[in-house]
Structure 1
Amino acid sequence: MGSLFRSEEMTLCQLFLQSEAAYACVSELGELGLVQFRDLNPDVNAFQRKFVNEVRRCDEMERKLRYLEKEIRRDGIPMLEIPGECPEAPQPREMIDLEATFEKLENELREVNQNAEALKRNYLELTELKHILRKTQVFFDEHEGGAGTTESMTRALISDDQNRNVGHVQLGMRDKQESLEFLPCFVAGVILRERIPAFERMLWRACRGNVFLRQAEIDSPLEDPSSSDQVYKSVFIIFFQGDQLKTRVKKICEGFRATLYPCPEAPADRREMAMGVMTRIEDLNTVLGQTQDHRHRVLVAAAKNIKNWFVKVRKIKAIYHTLNLFNLDVTQKCLIAECWVPALDMETIQLALRRGTERSGSSVPPILNRMETLEDPPTYNRTNKFTSAFQNLIYAYGVATYREVNPAPYTIITFPFLFAVMFGDLGHGALMAAFGFWMCYKEKPLQAKKIDSEIWTIFFGGRYIILLMGLFSMYTGLIYNDIFSKSLNVFGSAWRNNYNKTTLQENAMLQLNPDSLDYVQTPYPFGIDPVWQLAEANKIIFMNAYKMKISIIIGVFHMLFGVCMSLWNHLYFKRRTSVYVEFVPQIVFLVLLFFYMVLLMFIKWTSYGSTPPFYGDPKYVTTSAFCAPSILITFINMMLFKVDANDPSRLMCAENMTMYAGQLGLQKFFVIVALLCVPIMLLGKPYFIMQEQKKRARAGHASIETGAGAGPENGSAGGAPVPAGGHHDEDITEVFIHQAIHTIEYVLGSISHTASYLRLWALSLAHAQLAEVAWNMLLRKGLQSSGFSGGIFLYVVFAGWAAISVSILVLMEGLSAFLHTLRLHWVEFQSKFYAGEGYLFQPFSFEVILDSAGQGEE
């Protein structure tokens, strides 16, 4: 838990591994997931590294497994999940067995698929021929009788041509009646149904109307053997005369990818062919069934182990990728690696290396040595499933500089609280908390489903954030006494109605006066008095003043806490001078101006009341709410050294225009001291650096701020020194420019950041008003309806109100409040102490590799 407040101490180590033990040791480190290896061959091409052949073999095995997985998914066969723990990385000698197994399965499956495709193609051809024989029999039967089949077809050809287009070019013969002495030819085939219209037009134009086409649709779809898609086709028969037209018709059929089949003219021959076709189809059905059964058995057997095979192959591939980062010492027959490791886990890593050595059977133990370096170590914060979501919010802004204060543990409380100030509603907060609780309660089943949706992944990853935001919103909803724009009357009200019924009916805009007996001078025990929900005239005025002041108070305390975090950084990195020339003037500037404004709010709340002890008191005028000064005007006058004594709204007040004795003098002192802090922030650090450089030039010793030591007592971590504020070779001009920018940003940012916290008030007011509009425009009208029709109307209205509440007031307003809260933490809070200029610790971990591979497949 300690690393949550500040990142883990990291150390750079050099690792020596014997060649025969390197694979097993890296495998153990991958299971551990605590070592980040550095690439010692940055200039070597990926195809020139030592273990490139092994990586290629793994790629080939992975390709075969993807092919098997594709076939398994196509047949809808469930793949068994890995029971218990993931299998360990197999030994290198097991790669040969795996390659042989995958090669056998792939060849067998490809052979089965080729045979099945050939059988399906034959089955398709026989099926199409069966339909041709049936349909053409119908065609011939329709024209049989009289002069016989061919004669009737010829007459049909002539009559069809005469009826369709008189203007077309006729046959080359002078009279079509003379063509009865010629026997017509015909071709039969099958074509895709959607190509029939274009096919018919092309035949008509190319043959100049000298063809007779009949077509009939095949009712049942046919399976395409190549793509396994179901396609709809039609049978056609084309009658024509002459070899020239025959050649032309066949070319057109070939162009439209129509399949032609032989069709006997004699009915007896057609019947005999049909019987033979049916017999062959039955035989093919039997063979196809046996082929499909064999294919199914092969895939079922593969589906039982394919998940394990994927894990094993990916682990092998990851190990060899990691080994490619090592240097090879030919003389010593060992591999040399450099890696970042957490200092606290050195013993665990040593044990893992020892296990790997024992597994490989090597007699030479690995050597792990710490190295001295001036390179910035990576940042590593240990997290769990609860804290990881908040840590990711911080990483989205920037990874912390090594050993810098981590804002995540404080964000766990401040983030949902600031969100709840903007989203404060007991009802909407309960809906959000219920959704977050459901995701947390069903965590494991939902993870097992592996839902492929980016939006769902974001929601599920932030389930604990959503739960806390909902719970905090319920708390602030109780403070605001707001539940779906209504209030809870738990403790009664401190206001009494002194008007009679007639006065209330005639004056809709009456206000209760706190100076009279309307208010019993007893504050509400918890939250806001429920009577304010009935105050149509001045409810917004009261809530505006209340929430605006609360927002400023929360914002100032939040910024003060951020500045105090910078002190923790200065002390840890031993930047003592920065404490005096940066932290002290910053905290003084913020306290004397903005924290003083907060104190004025509390003074105003306690010094001015609705009614004094008795009206004859001479302090009545100065302590009444009428004479209460505006905090904003007082603050502006304070900055301008001005006394607003001519304010016409306060002419009836006493001569003392201040809230307490000596206020004006104290305010002038505060402003002067705050202004003096600005040149200290601007010039203090550059002046110190110049003095440091002069002393170093004279004496030649190290910086008096950072010290020369780099051991653990000076903030180092196992050979990796903590970055401290040394300025050995900095140009003093750049220091002045940098410090000027930093000072201007802080001074102006103090004003803009304080005003930025007013978004807490603005979004809270907007959320409350939207909820009230939804209630008044929808549900209120439904509740006022009566009778049977009123019940139906209420049912419909409630559905609309519930949909608007969930979609707009919970989802959209919740997203808006979330983004504003994120900005308040990133800009207003973290800018006071968080640099975020580090880089993340990315250890070699099988768990991370397998998770990323699984997400890539989805």
Structure 2
Amino acid sequence: MSTRSHVKHFFLYYITPLVSKIKLVLNYLIGLLPDSSITDTYCCRTDWTLVSKMGSIFRSEEMALAQLFIQPEAAYSIISELGEAGCVQFRDLNDEVSSFQRRFVNEVLRCNEMERQLRFIEAEIRKDSINIPDVTEVPKAPNPREIIDLEAHLETVEGEMKELNDGAVGLKSNSLEIKEFKYVLEKFRLFFSDQNEVNVFDSAQVALTSEENQNVTGRLEFVAGVINRERVYGFERMLWRVSRGNIFFKLFDIEAPLEDPINGKEVYKAVFFAFFQGEQLKTKVKKICTGFHASLYPCPTTAEEAKNMLADISTRLEDLTMVLNQTQDHRHRVLISVAKDLQNWTVMVNKIKAIYHTLNCFSMDVVKKFMIGECWVPCTDIPTVQKALADGSSTCGSSIPSFLNVISNTDEPPTFYRTNKFTRGFQNLIDAYGVASYREVNPGLYTIITFPFLFAVMFGDCGHALIMTAFGLWMILAEKKLIAKKKNEIFRIFFGGRYIILLMGLFSFYTGFLYNDMFSKSMNVFRSQWFVNSSRFYPEDDDEHELLPKANYHGTPYFMGIDPVWQLASNKIIFLNSFKMKLSIIFGVVHMIFGVCVGTANFIHFRKYSSLFLEFLPQLLFLVFLFFYLVVMIFMKWIWYSGELDGWIDEIVIEHGTSCSPSVLIYFINMFLMGSSSPNDGCDEYMYEGQKIIQIVLLLGALLCIPVMLLGKPLYVMFTKNKANKANPVTIRQNGGTNQEAEGKADHQEHEEEEEPISEVFIHQAIHTIEYTLSTVSHTASYLRLWALSLAHAQLSEVLWTKVLHYSLFLGTIIDCVLIFVAFGLWAVFTVTILVLMEGLSAFLHTLRLHWVEFMSKFYVGTGYLFQPFSFKLILEEDSEE
């Protein structure tokens, strides 16, 4: 067997199965495992074919524009099946037709009427504080015959509710009148109890008779009634002005509130008595009472008559209260029985309305025998759509099958990613900046790792990370209970990013362990490798020491992270400043280079091979020649130069020691200025031989990349303009198994670019080149926020420890011990609110900016639009949120 056969046999039987298994594992980790808890965002299928869909999160799925030819009698059932599947996005073919001129406008109006009835019934149920149970099993959309039954049933329930309400309002109105009459009689007896009736009227008559009208005779009359307290002031003033002071007015407040029979609110009222003379004045008083909505009641003329009327009124009130209670009990039982099915009715009505809205987007063929609709559908879901067409036709018993036809087009398809509850949060971060263009590389895949890591670089503290991890883990473990509860907007945002919070906490614990920082204190886990000979180098009473490598160092590094002895060093800030600043530069340059390299996947996929040499290569070389060289110098300085002080003890000058350690920043500045700096005595000017020549070559190489980026693509477009006109459109096959649609779109985009005036191409490329070259410098400096926020977080944590909690630990008296609990409470509150919440939010926003601006600007276009399928699940979720 030849060598070629051996290689072929090896790849066929060993490498290929291994790659297949790796794909399965990656799909599982990415979150494409379809089970009841981790399911697709849109497609509600639970078969294992999803596991084979590698790349759905790396690049949006291939979409096909399909035409549906549906029998009118089967249209309702088919759209219902497609709504349950949730994998097609319909296009409106009746844009020029108003909403009131469409085919199914009457059905939509009927659904609106049923929604109004359901809102009325729900309001009545809420009014009685009856619990509405959630839906245990989501019902399917009813068929047209069941819709008629549901409509009739809702109308019956609404009629019964209105009848009960009208009866209850009438009984409450009668009860209110009887109660008011009872209060009037009670106040009447109270007012006339200790006085003789004739004497009272005579005294009132004398008080109302003025000196000018002493000859006027006539019996004194009065009216009694009930009025709202807030109207008493205006009512009394109006009576006084109309009668010119010839009215005797007496007011008594009703202590207990009375229920309004219309809205059920409690109102406070008062009983009044108004004494006057003359029929004309009596007419005016009654009109004023009517205008102020005061209720007038007849009063007896004698105390005995008042007593009998009060007894009769009390009996009638008891009978009416008993009838009213029975009516309320019956109403309550009816509402309880209705509440059990209210959510199911609401779901069914929402589905019915969504179906008819979708059918209004269809058009009829010429002979009006088929309904035609257009929809975007993922190529892998075409069999699902075909199955829905067959099931819908069989459900209604249609003899003529409905079918699907994939058509070619030049419109940009929507962007669709299959996400689950783990990847959805990271994808939302990307979509908030801009939805990826069709088949563009998705940054969301890399964000799963890079986002929590860059956050952790700024938030590195083991203690604070444990708090954040515990919060994220609690939301994940209790997510079923939290989903069932109604959440406010702020907590809904935290809950949606629960997996992001968990990963940020775990990564922060890792970086905090490397920083050796837990609530601003260090952990001596692997035993410090430093020692201090204070008898030789330092006074014995010093609390802090400056760590000098040759005098204090054992010679072996700390096993992992930063040595805990730096917590006691006076030069800790200087060391951490240098260390974290260099780390931020390294991470930033590597992150930007990775972003430039990711763009190659777009160029290769869309077959823009010229951009690989005219855009990607000069951009990468420009970044490598300048800033990656800076990273290389940082590592060279760390490796070549030791921490020993040259000749500090033995008067021996060491070639690569601390005194000869160069400044990388000075080298980098001199590289641009082509200058030099004078080294220390006995030290070399450069780190290695030929450094100056290499730096000049790298600088010239970076400068040569600029004209390539500026003129390369415009000149290429200008020279290949004639060839672009020969491009042929490519149609996709019905099975959707190839990438021909993406190829056709790429050809279409290249054709548009080439048809663009050459002057526009030069202008756009000049803007892009200037933006890239200038932003490279600013973006590299922007990554210094990793260093700045990390130091700020550590210093703020140390301030809280030393100024709040540290002093209380050394108090000795019993009374002072109580202050320890107070100090610990303050420290805990400040730690959670300031360091975890506020600092965490600040680090989150800075990390978001690093991804949106510094990373994604290197390759991401983000001019697409999301795939929004017709899905009952999404419709019900949006309705519940509203």
Q: Same fold (TM over 0.5)?
A: yes
Any residues of structure 2 matched to 1:321-360 within 5 Å, and which? 321-329=357-365, 331-360=367-396
Report SS of the residue matched to 2:867: coil
**What is the identity, as a one-letter code, of the residue corresponding to 1:476?**
T
Cα distance in 2 between the residues matched to 1:272 and 1:215: 23
Residues 452 and 504 of structure 2 are in contact (CA less than 8 Å); yes or no, is this contact kept in structure 1?
A: yes
Report SS of the residue matched to 1:609: coil
Aligned counterpart, 2:653: 620
Cα distance in 2 between the residues matched to 1:238 and 1:60: 51
Residues 343 and 718 of structure 1 are in contact (CA less than 8 Å); yes or no, is this contact kept in structure 2?
A: no
CA deviation after TM superposition for structure 1 residue 495, in Å:
2.1
Aligned counterpart, 1:165: none
| 1:701 lines up with 2:726 in the alignment | yes
| 1:652 lines up with 2:685 in the alignment | no
Residue in structure 2 matching 1:478, options 489, 513, 535: 513
**What is the identity, as a one-letter code, of the residue corresponding to 1:676?**
L
Aligned counterpart, 2:524: 489
| 1:525 lines up with 2:559 in the alignment | yes
Residue in structure 2 matching 1:139, options 191, 197, 202: 191
**What is the identity, as a one-letter code, of the residue corresponding to 1:658?**
Y
Residue in structure 1 matching 2:691, options 663, 668, 691: 663
Q: Which moved more, 1:605-614 or 1:538-547?
A: 605-614
Report SS of the residue matched to 2:144: coil
Residues 805 and 824 of structure 2 are in contact (CA less than 8 Å); yes or no, is this contact kept in structure 1?
A: yes
Residues 41 and 327 of structure 1 are in contact (CA less than 8 Å); yes or no, is this contact kept in structure 2?
A: yes
Q: Deviations over 1:282-303 (max 9, x none)?
A: 2211221222122112211211
Aligned counterpart, 1:572: 605
Residues 415 and 439 of structure 2 are in contact (CA less than 8 Å); yes or no, is this contact kept in structure 1?
A: yes
CA deviation after TM superposition for structure 1 residue 214, in Å:
2.4
Q: Deviations over 1:33-72 (max 9, x none)?
A: 0011111111111111111111111111111011001101
Q: Kindly tell me: are residues 78 and 600 of structure 1, through their superposed partners in 2, closer, same or farther at Cα, counting changes over 3 Å?
A: same
Q: Kindly tell me: are residues 733 and 68 of structure 1, through their superposed partners in 2, closer, same or farther at Cα, counting changes over 3 Å?
A: same
Cα distance in 2 between the residues matched to 1:235 and 1:515: 99
Residue in structure 2 matching 1:150, options 198, 206, 211: 198
Aligned counterpart, 1:99: 151
CA deviation after TM superposition for structure 1 residue 826, in Å:
0.5
Q: Deviations over 1:82-119 (max 9, x none)?
A: 123x1111111222111110111111111110111011
Q: Kindly tell me: are residues 505 and 346 of structure 1, through their superposed partners in 2, closer, same or farther at Cα, counting changes over 3 Å?
A: same
**What is the identity, as a one-letter code, of the residue corresponding to 1:622?**
E
Residues 343 and 717 of structure 1 are in contact (CA less than 8 Å); yes or no, is this contact kept in structure 2?
A: no
Residues 139 and 348 of structure 2 are in contact (CA less than 8 Å); yes or no, is this contact kept in structure 1?
A: yes
**What is the identity, as a one-letter code, of the residue corresponding to 1:512?**
L
| 1:29 lines up with 2:62 in the alignment | no
Residue in structure 1 matching 2:802, options 771, 776, 800: 776
Aligned counterpart, 1:51: 104
Any residues of structure 2 matched to 1:334-733 within 5 Å, and which? 334-451=370-487, 453-500=488-535, 504=539, 507=542, 510-516=545-551, 518-535=552-569, 537-611=570-644, 620-645=653-678, 650-654=679-683, 656-695=684-723, 701-702=726-727, 709=730, 715-717=739-741, 721-722=745-746, 724-726=749-751, 727-733=753-759
Residues 606 and 743 of structure 2 are in contact (CA less than 8 Å); yes or no, is this contact kept in structure 1?
A: no
Residue in structure 2 matching 1:292, options 325, 328, 331: 328
| 1:815 lines up with 2:849 in the alignment | no
**What is the identity, as a one-letter code, of the residue corresponding to 1:551?**
S
**What is the identity, as a one-letter code, of the residue corresponding to 1:407?**
P
Report SS of the residue matched to 2:741: coil
Q: Kindly tell me: are residues 154 and 457 of structure 1, through their superposed partners in 2, closer, same or farther at Cα, counting changes over 3 Å?
A: farther
**What is the identity, as a one-letter code, of the residue corresponding to 1:547?**
K
Residues 213 and 239 of structure 1 are in contact (CA less than 8 Å); yes or no, is this contact kept in structure 2?
A: yes
Report SS of the residue matched to 1:260: strand
Report SS of the residue matched to 1:515: helix
Q: Kindly tell me: are residues 172 and 554 of structure 1, through their superposed partners in 2, closer, same or farther at Cα, counting changes over 3 Å?
A: same
Q: Kindly tell me: are residues 757 and 719 of structure 1, through their superposed partners in 2, closer, same or farther at Cα, counting changes over 3 Å?
A: closer
Q: Kindly tell me: are residues 670 and 78 of structure 1, through their superposed partners in 2, closer, same or farther at Cα, counting changes over 3 Å?
A: same
Cα distance in 2 between the residues matched to 1:800 and 1:252: 64
Q: Kindly tell me: are residues 503 and 279 of structure 1, through their superposed partners in 2, closer, same or farther at Cα, counting changes over 3 Å?
A: same
| 1:196 lines up with 2:232 in the alignment | yes
Residues 157 and 212 of structure 1 are in contact (CA less than 8 Å); yes or no, is this contact kept in structure 2?
A: no
Residues 63 and 379 of structure 2 are in contact (CA less than 8 Å); yes or no, is this contact kept in structure 1?
A: yes
**What is the identity, as a one-letter code, of the residue corresponding to 1:466?**
I
Q: Which runs of 5+ in 2 are unaligned?
A: 1-53
**What is the identity, as a one-letter code, of the residue corresponding to 2:424?**
S
Report SS of the residue matched to 2:275: strand
Aligned counterpart, 1:164: none
Q: Deviations over 1:207-242 (max 9, x none)?
A: 344333322222221110011011121222222333
Cα distance in 2 between the residues matched to 1:322 and 1:387: 30
Residues 581 and 681 of structure 1 are in contact (CA less than 8 Å); yes or no, is this contact kept in structure 2?
A: yes
Report SS of the residue matched to 2:87: coil
Residue in structure 2 matching 1:120, options 172, 179, 185: 172
Report SS of the residue matched to 1:843: coil
Aligned counterpart, 1:804: 830
Report SS of the residue matched to 1:340: strand
CA RMSD, 1 decimal: 2.2
Aligned counterpart, 2:262: 226
Q: Kindly tell me: are residues 618 and 642 of structure 1, through their superposed partners in 2, closer, same or farther at Cα, counting changes over 3 Å?
A: farther
| 1:840 lines up with 2:869 in the alignment | no
Residues 423 and 814 of structure 1 are in contact (CA less than 8 Å); yes or no, is this contact kept in structure 2?
A: yes
Percent pairwise identity:
54
Report SS of the residue matched to 1:234: strand
Q: Which moved more, 1:313-322 or 1:295-304?
A: 295-304
Report SS of the residue matched to 2:405: strand
Residues 376 and 720 of structure 1 are in contact (CA less than 8 Å); yes or no, is this contact kept in structure 2?
A: no
Residues 226 and 295 of structure 2 are in contact (CA less than 8 Å); yes or no, is this contact kept in structure 1?
A: yes
Q: Deviations over 1:672-708 (max 9, x none)?
A: 0111010001000001000111455xxx633xxxx86
Aligned counterpart, 1:70: 123
Q: Kindly tell me: are residues 735 and 103 of structure 1, through their superposed partners in 2, closer, same or farther at Cα, counting changes over 3 Å?
A: same
Q: Kindly tell me: are residues 591 and 183 of structure 1, through their superposed partners in 2, closer, same or farther at Cα, counting changes over 3 Å?
A: same
Residue in structure 1 matching 2:877, options 845, 848, 851: 851
Q: Which moved more, 1:248-257 or 1:358-367?
A: 248-257
Residues 491 and 524 of structure 1 are in contact (CA less than 8 Å); yes or no, is this contact kept in structure 2?
A: yes
Aligned counterpart, 1:759: 785
Cα distance in 2 between the residues matched to 1:595 and 1:718: 35
CA deviation after TM superposition for structure 1 residue 445, in Å:
0.9
Q: Kindly tell me: are residues 29 and 661 of structure 1, through their superposed partners in 2, closer, same or farther at Cα, counting changes over 3 Å?
A: same
Q: Deviations over 1:244-301 (max 9, x none)?
A: 4433433333333221111112112111211221122122112212221221122112
Report SS of the residue matched to 2:261: coil
Aligned counterpart, 1:207: 243
Report SS of the residue matched to 1:828: helix
CA deviation after TM superposition for structure 1 residue 711, in Å:
5.5
Q: Deviations over 1:171-223 (max 9, x none)?
A: 544487x88x7542221111223333444444444434433332222222111
Any residues of structure 2 matched to 1:229-240 within 5 Å, and which? 229-240=265-276
Q: Deviations over 1:311-330 (max 9, x none)?
A: 11111111111111111125
CA deviation after TM superposition for structure 1 residue 508, in Å:
5.7
Q: Kindly tell me: are residues 254 and 553 of structure 1, through their superposed partners in 2, closer, same or farther at Cα, counting changes over 3 Å?
A: same
Report SS of the residue matched to 2:64: strand
CA deviation after TM superposition for structure 1 residue 374, in Å:
1.3
Residues 93 and 363 of structure 2 are in contact (CA less than 8 Å); yes or no, is this contact kept in structure 1?
A: yes
CA deviation after TM superposition for structure 1 residue 149, in Å:
2.0
Query: Structure 2 length normalisation: TM-score?
Result: 0.90
Aligned counterpart, 2:3: none
Residues 371 and 719 of structure 1 are in contact (CA less than 8 Å); yes or no, is this contact kept in structure 2?
A: no
Residues 549 and 645 of structure 2 are in contact (CA less than 8 Å); yes or no, is this contact kept in structure 1?
A: no
Residues 581 and 685 of structure 1 are in contact (CA less than 8 Å); yes or no, is this contact kept in structure 2?
A: yes
**What is the identity, as a one-letter code, of the residue corresponding to 2:358?**
T
